[in-house]
Amino acid sequence: MQRTNWRNEDDAVLLVPIFETGRRFYIVVTVLGLLVLWGVVSYAVQWHLGLGVTGMNYPVSWAFYIINFVFFIGISHAGTLISAILRLSQAEWRRPVTRIAEVITVLVLGIGGMNILIDLGRPDRLLNLFLYGRYQSPLLWDATSITAYLTASSVYLYIPMIPDIAILRDRVVGGWRKLLYQVLALGWVGTARQHRVLNVAIAMMAVLVVPVAVSVHTVVSFVFSMTVQPMWHSTIFGPYFVVGAIFSGTAMLLVIMAILRKAFHLKDYLQPIHFNYLGLIMLVMVLLWVYFTFAEYLTTYYGNEPDEMRVFSSKFSGKYAPVFWAMVLFNFVIPFPILALNRTRTITGTVIASISIIIGMWLERLVIIVPTLANPRLHQYAQGSYLPSIVEIGIMVGSCALFALFYVLFSKLFPIVSISEVREGRQETMRIIQDRARRYEPGLGRLPASE
Amino acid sequence: MARWGMVIDLDRCTACQACVVACQVENNVPYVEESEFKRRRAISWMKIVSETEGSYPDLRTRFIPRPCMQCDNPPCTRVCPVHATYLNPEGIVAQVYARCIGCRFCVAGCPYTVKYFNWYAYHDRMPASLRRADNPDVSTRPKGVVEKCTFCHHRLLKAKDVAAAEDRSLRPGDYVPSCVESCPSQAMYFGDLSDPKSEVARLAESSRAFRLMEELGTKPKVIYLAERR
């Protein structure tokens, strides 16, 4: 690949991973590719033999794939939602973070959706959803909401990227990449009119994406809460799932930021303050999550309905107690003190808390889904248990690896930190912050503008 | 239009399992291998549930034969994304095996846990000697679809054909599911609940009559008669 001399310009470090391919890249891609292959082989086995190769049974008819579906869709809230909220609230520190977040959303949404297809007993009949689809099934609400979110967040990822793609187009000489960038840049040259249209489009998408994102995890929860099963049939599930989604999503964002910071030498872009601020958002989410969990479980316990209590005690002190208490440990006991104390809300601290939360939130999905199915109302004959099979583990590893692989490939093709937004920030941030302060701080209005 | 319903007198039921076997044979319900049975994947459209109250020595065990409840307000059909399970005009909750995409939402949604999934192609995996005994009136199920009790719907179709050939309307007793037919202690009754003169309609009004989990509002058309103390 030929390219112009780009090393001397500002933000050259953001172009390095695109223009230079080290040995490390090939190693990472190979390892991830092999893990994806493991997942593909696992699915091929399942396609051939049927869902019998999983550990699912009667009455635990939903397990790993649905857990992963809910988990991945939850992670997807990191990106677009956080980026949109930060844009709308004009948080100036967002600039290097937004794209890292938005890419998570787009990739993980696809993988979450894929997991529900993997869960189908007859994937060959998928088209029946269009031929005979009926809207009273929450499954179709999911399909609609997720498709809308995937479309909106892809557009929302792409539009702010146009100026960056133009930068790449101008640096690359020839090759398939030149063609790719040329097409995707949509003839961007940076005129005032183009900037105006772009900013309007970004602002519109940022507004649009927020309700869609909230709807996604709400209807995911509806899959459970619309049934009459004990501890699923709960009015709190919509907001509870949305909170859990933002919670786990922020954690994933922080982990990926830390990895990129190290791998791509982005110390100047991803500063401790970014981790600090996102850590504070996560602290709020920890508390919200605990509050919702407490409300949900106390209501069940106090109501003391026999069918509900059977599920409750299997979580609290029965077969699923280890998973339940591990969830409490990973979602609250470990991350809360780390995030609450200024001294530990460092890069290392937030990353430890984030990893703990990602594990904890996966367990939370398990704690919601499996114990209810294992303790149905006619429990005398239908009590069940569940252990995943090697095929399910393979597909889960493959799903995670696929996400990582796509992320690596994306960062190979496009700058993972928005060059144009960072440059814009360099020129505008001081003015924006001063203007804002001038509008609310008495006496500041008389001070001369900067420059 | 008829509304088919079943009455099961628990006072007469001896838990002999004849209905379970009759159903299995009549409906080509696959026998799963022992390993699959141990993994809790056996399929049993009709099942005897035991319910024990109290503790020794003051205890009572009741046996409840449990087919599909054929709810008038079924929680399972509501959630099906492709209309593969639906309430038909005569009140039977139908399953369309050829349309089911195997999402198992109905399995998760049924409070009576009467829906079973074909984790493997269980029928095809049965020995040929067993498959020779298949009932030609009932389609066998492929892998990856949900199945359950249909009140032997194929028997209704057949009875209607016979009645049409003889140029008459359906008479009580023309259509009876195999479980009812096989019950040696005659604990089970079957008929049209919408006909006030029918035996099931009369028994459904009995002071002993109850339905499973009535409080859920599913309106089951399987009605139990409680034991006389």
Selecting from B40, B82, B216 the residue whose C-beta is nearest the C-beta of A128 gives B82
- DSSP state letter for B214: G
Higher-pLDDT residue of B47 and A77 is B47
pLDDT at A446: 61
Inter-chain residue contact B82 with A132, CB threshold 8 Å: yes
Q: What's the pLDDT tens digit per position in A300-311?
A: 999 999 999 999
Question: Do the domain assignments include residue A98?
Answer: yes
What per-residue confidence (pLDDT) applies to A145? 93
Residue of A69, A119, A137, A223 to mutate for B, most B C-beta atoms under 10 A: A137
For residue B62, the model assigns a pLDDT of 87
Determine, yes or no, domain membership for A132. no
Mean pLDDT across chain B: 94
Task: Confirm whether A99 is domain-assigned.
Answer: yes
In the predicted model, is pLDDT for residue A86 greater than 80? yes
- Nearest by CB: B143 against A50, A116, A229: A50
A322-331, A382-391, A397-406, B185-194: least confidently modelled range: A382-391
Q: State in Å, rounded, how far the first CA of chain A is from the last one.
A: 42
Supply the pTM of this predicted model: 0.93
Can you tell me the mean pLDDT for A266-291?
93
Which of B40, B99, B109 lies at the smallest CB-CB distance from A128? B99
pLDDT of residue A384: 79
Whether A65 maps to a domain, the answer reads yes
State mean pLDDT over B93-108. Answer: 95
Q: Which is more confidently placed, A175 or B18? A: B18
Q: Tell me, yes or no, whether A446 lies in a domain.
A: no
pLDDT > 90: what percent of chain A?
72
Kindly report which listed range (A58-72, A428-442, B7-21) carries the lowest average pLDDT score: A428-442
User: Domain range for residue B8?
Assistant: 4-225
CB atoms within 10 A of CB A444: 12
Q: Which of B51, B79, B145 sits opposite A122 (nearest CB)?
A: B145
A residues 262-321 lying closer than 8 A (beta carbon) to B: none
pLDDT in tens, B175-214: 999 999 999 999 999 999 999 999 999 999 999 999 999 9
* A157 in any annotated domain: yes
Q: Which of B46, B79, B125, B212 to mutate to test the interface with A (most CBs of A within 10 A)?
A: B79
The candidate with the shortest Cα–Cα distance to A64, out of A126, A107, A116, is A116
Nearest CA to A217 out of A404, A72, A362 is that of A72
Both tokens of residue B29? 């319900």
* DSSP H or E run through A344: none
DSSP-derived secondary structure for A424-445: HHHHHHHHHHHHHHHHHSTTGG
Angstrom distances, CA of residue B228 to CA of B62, B113, B207, B225: 12, 28, 11, 9
In this complex, do B39 and A57 lie within 8 Å of one another by their Cβ atoms?
yes
Distance CA B89, CA B202 (A): 22
Q: Is residue A17 very low, low, confident or very high in pLDDT (cuts 50, 70, 90)?
A: confident
Q: Which two tokens stand for residue B129?
A: 């000697």
How many independent structural domains does chain B possess? 1
Question: Do the Cβ atoms of B79 and A227 come within 8 Å?
Answer: yes
- What residues of chain A lie within 8 A of the CB of B100, using their CB? 121-122, 125
Would you say residue A18 lies in a domain?
A: no
Q: Which residue has the higher pLDDT, A348 or A18?
A: A348
Backbone angles phi, psi at B4, to 5 degrees: -75, 135
Tell me, yes or no, whether A332 lies in a domain.
Answer: yes
B51 interaction partners in chain A (CB closer than 8 Å): 380
Helices A162-171 and A175-184, packing angle to 10 deg: 150
* Strand pairing class (B188-192; B4-9): antiparallel
pLDDT recorded at residue B1: 85
pLDDT at A402 over 70: yes
Judged by CB atoms within 8 Å, which residues 59-78 of A form the interface with B? 59, 61-62
Residue A227: closest C-alpha in chain B: B109
Mean pLDDT, all residues of chain A: 91
A121 vs chain B: nearest CA distance in angstroms? 4
Residues 6+ apart with CB under 8 A from A242: A77, A214, A217, A218, A221
Which CATH number does the domain housing residue B214 bear?
3.30.70.20
Number of other residues whose CB lies within 10 A of the CB of residue A250:
28
**pLDDT tens track for A239-277:** 999 999 999 999 999 999 999 999 988 898 999 999 999
Nearest C-alpha neighbor of A78 from the set A110, A101, A111, A108: A101
Q: How many contacts, defined by CB atoms under 8 Å, are there between A and B? A: 137
Confidence of residue A92 (pLDDT cuts 50, 70, 90): confident
Of the candidates B38, B61, B82, B218, the one whose C-alpha atom is nearest the C-alpha of residue A58 is B38
Q: Which band of pLDDT confidence, cut at 50, 70 and 90, is reported for residue A313?
A: very high
Name the residue in chain A with its Cα closest to that of B213. Answer: A377
Query: Which among A361, A350, A103, A83 is positioned nearest to A247, based on CA atoms?
Result: A361
Q: Does residue B91 or residue A380 have the better pLDDT?
A: B91
Q: Which two tokens stand for residue A20?
A: 């230079």
Asked if B68 contacts B127 with a C-beta cutoff of 8 angstroms, the reply is: no
CB distance from A117 to chain B under 8 Å?
no
Name which of A381, A376, A125 is nearest A227 in CA terms: A376
In chain A, positions 200-239, which contact chain B (CB-CB < 8 Å)? 223, 226-229
Contacts of B104 in chain A (CB under 8 A): 61-62, 119, 121
The number of helix segments (H) and strand segments (E) in chain B equals 9, 10
Question: B216 contacts in A (CB within 8 Å)?
Answer: 228
pLDDT at position A447, please?
Answer: 58
Nearest-neighbour CA in chain B from A233: distance (Å): 10
For residue A284, give Cα distances in angstroms to A74, A247, A409, B170: 17, 9, 33, 67
Which residues of chain A make contact with B212, given a CB cutoff of 8 A?
A: 378
B113–A58 CB contact, under 8 Å = yes
Q: Give alpha helix (H) positions in chain B.
A: 18-26, 34-38, 75-79, 105-109, 122-125, 128-131, 153-165, 178-182, 199-204
Chain centroid to Cα A342, Å, comes to 26
Comparing CB atoms, the residue among B80, B111, B144 nearest residue A377 is: B111
Q: What integer pLDDT is reported at residue A177 of this predicted model?
A: 86
Q: Please count the structural domains in chain A.
A: 1
Q: State percent of chain A over pLDDT 70.
A: 97
Yes or no: say if A138 and A226 are a contact pair by the CB < 8 Å rule: yes
Q: Which residue of B has its CA nearest to A369?
A: B108
Rounded Cα–Cα distance for residues B219 and B38 (Å): 33
Q: Among A365, A377, A361, A226, which residue's Cα sits nearest to residue A311?
A: A377
Interacting residues of A12 by C-beta distance below 8 A, sequence separation 6+:
A6
Residue A451 confidence class, pLDDT cut points 50, 70, 90: very low
Tokens representing B19? 């209905």
- For B217: left if phi > 0, alpha if psi spans -120 to 50, otherwise beta; the answer is left
- Cα distances (Å, whole numbers) of residue A151 to A105, A148, A157, A182: 11, 5, 10, 22
Confidence of residue A1 (pLDDT cuts 50, 70, 90): low
Cβ distance of B79 and A134 shorter than 8 Å: no
Single-letter amino acid, residue B177 = P
Please tell me the number of Cα atoms within 13 Å of B211 on its side-chain side: 21
Mean pLDDT of A17-35: 91
Residue range(s) defining the domain that contains residue A256: 27-120+140-425
| Residue of A122, A144, A232 to mutate, interface with B, max B Cβ within 10 Å | A122
Put simply, the answer to whether B120 touches A50 (Cβ < 8 Å) is yes
CB A255 within 8 A of CB A355: yes
Nearest-angstrom CA–CA distance, B220 and A174: 71
Of the residues B35, B61, B97, B117, the best mutation for testing chain A's interface (the one with the most A CB atoms within 10 Å of its CB) is B117
Give residue A449's pLDDT.
54
Residue A258 belongs to a domain with what CATH number? 1.20.1630.10
Residue A450 has pLDDT above 60, yes or no: no
Following CA atoms A166, A168, A174, A178 in sequence, which dihedral angle do they give, to the nearest 10 degrees?
Answer: -60
B101 vs A contacts (CB less than 8 Å): 120-123, 125-126, 128-129
Confidence of residue B24 (pLDDT cuts 50, 70, 90): very high
Q: What amino acid is encoded at A279 in this protein?
A: G
pLDDT one-digit tens code per residue, B35-50: 999 999 999 999 998 8
Which of 373-412 (A) contact B at CB < 8 A?
373, 376-378, 380-382, 384
